[in-house]
Amino acid sequence: MDVIRIEHLHKTYRTGFRMRRQEVIKDLSLTVREGEIYGFIGPNGAGKTSTIKILVGLAHATSGTISLFGKKGPRPEQKALIGFLPERPYFYEYLTAREFLDFYGQLFGVPAPVRARRADKLLERVKLSAWRDTPLHKFSKGMLQRVGVAQALINDPKLVILDEPMSGLDPLGRMLIRDLIVGLKSQHKTVFFSSHILSDVELICDRVGILVDGRMRGEGTLDELLNNKTRFIEIVVRPPLEKLEALRSGLASLAMDVSVQGEERLLVRVGDAAQKRDVLNWLRDRDVDIESLIPRRESLEELFVDELSGGRGDAGVSPG
């Protein structure tokens, strides 16, 4: 089942005194399947947050349809199954962590004893048990983000939507959030999160959608998005110094590219399996040790930069 299905979504804001039209989402379609981690990536101002706001009912679509759990939405009965963490969240800072979670539990109609039990469990899970009775204004940014994630889970949701959950966090904080997201998947929850930190997306997402200037520029698994792009394999050899030059000129005709690294290693790049076989056979015949062999696939970052530079004008003019 598709947990989220967005079809031909458009969003136009009217801004300023003259109500100038500003189109932030242009014909966006995407689907998120049950149980997957979906990374919604794009540069700042691409329209990620606007899309998410429409998904959770904070803004209204100009046109297009949104289906959640197979039904047109967002409606309250669907929102009951969603956990949401907004971008750079601000919370009721005069509340303690427990009061805070209790309040949101009440909005979902969770009975009091269940609320208390769940709040304690969630605080433990985000490693904030020791601060359960501390008011939120004494929390650090990373702690707020974590209590925000706990808030998004208080209704035991089927779908968790996180807007830039890792932005502004230190490496440790990011790792914690990453682990939490992976943990949610293992509980068979669907996670939809936006990010511009690509390494985080690359590590944990099953599928990604790339949004640039309000348009989807690519959607699929990481393999689908990255595979058909040029890949190469790096072979590093460390021959005796006196053979270095001879090997280099010999390999030059077999490989894509050969270069000397650090004056004692040869870095050989081959483009496909046939080339790889030829190079390896050639090296074996000459009894040269191979130090390493690494397939280099294009990183998400490179793909992203490709998409960004591909026929696009300005970036970051609309509210993200």
Partner 1 sequence: MAPQRIKAIAANTFREAVRDKILYSLLFFALVMIGSSVLVAELTIGEFLKIVKDVGLGSISIFGVLIAVFVGIQLVTREIDRKTVYTVLSKPVHRWEFIVGKFLGLGSTLFVELSIMTAGLLILVGITGSEFAPALAGAVALIYLELLFLTAFSILFSTFSTPTLSALFTLSVYAIGHMSNDIYRFGQKADAEWIRVASRALYYLLPNLEYFNIKNEVVHDVDMLPGQIGYAVVYGLVYTAIVLFAAIVIFERRDFK
Cα(143)–Cα(126) distance, integer angstroms = 9
- Binding range to partner 1, per CB under 8 A, among 77-85, 123-131, 172-180, 232-240: 77-85
Cα(173)–Cα(266) distance, integer angstroms = 39
Q: What radius of gyration do the chain's Cα atoms show?
A: 25
295 φ, ψ (degrees, to nearest 5): -75, 125
> Residue 13 interacts with partner 1 (CB under 8 A)?
yes
> Residue 76 interacts with partner 1 (CB under 8 A)?
yes
> Residue 86 interacts with partner 1 (CB under 8 A)?
yes
| Shortest Å distance, C-beta 201 to partner 1 | 22
155 φ, ψ (degrees, to nearest 5): -95, 10
Closer residue to partner 1, CB minimum distance, 79 or 276: 79
Pick from 58, 4, 65, 12: which is nearest to 35 by CA?
4
| Shortest Å distance, C-beta 176 to partner 1 | 20
283 beta partners? none
- Binding range to partner 1, per CB under 8 A, among 79-87, 173-181, 249-257, 279-287: 79-87
> Residue 141 interacts with partner 1 (CB under 8 A)?
no
Cα 204 off chain centre by: 7
Cα(110)–Cα(102) distance, integer angstroms = 9
Applying CB under 8 A, the site for partner 1 has a residue count of 32
Looking at 30, 56, 68, 101, which residue binds partner 1 (CB under 8 A)? 56
> Residue 59 interacts with partner 1 (CB under 8 A)?
yes
> Residue 282 interacts with partner 1 (CB under 8 A)?
no
Strands 37-41 and 63-68: unpaired
> Residue 317 interacts with partner 1 (CB under 8 A)?
no
For helices 141-152 and 112-125, angle between their N-to-C axes, nearest 10 degrees: 140
Number of neighbours of residue 113 by Cβ within 10 angstroms: 8
Give the CA count within 13 Å in the CB-facing half-sphere of 123: 20
- Binding range to partner 1, per CB under 8 A, among 26-34, 91-99, 165-173, 270-278: 91-99
For helices 171-186 and 141-152, angle between their N-to-C axes, nearest 10 degrees: 10
> Residue 114 interacts with partner 1 (CB under 8 A)?
no
- Binding range to partner 1, per CB under 8 A, among 31-39, 52-60, 225-233, 299-307: 52-60
Closer residue to partner 1, CB minimum distance, 94 or 301: 94
Tell me which residues in 150-179 interact with partner 1 (CB under 8 A): 151, 155
Q: Which residues bind partner 1 (CB under 8 A)?
A: 13, 53, 56-60, 76-77, 79-80, 82, 84, 86, 88-92, 94-95, 99, 103-104, 106-109, 148, 151, 155, 319
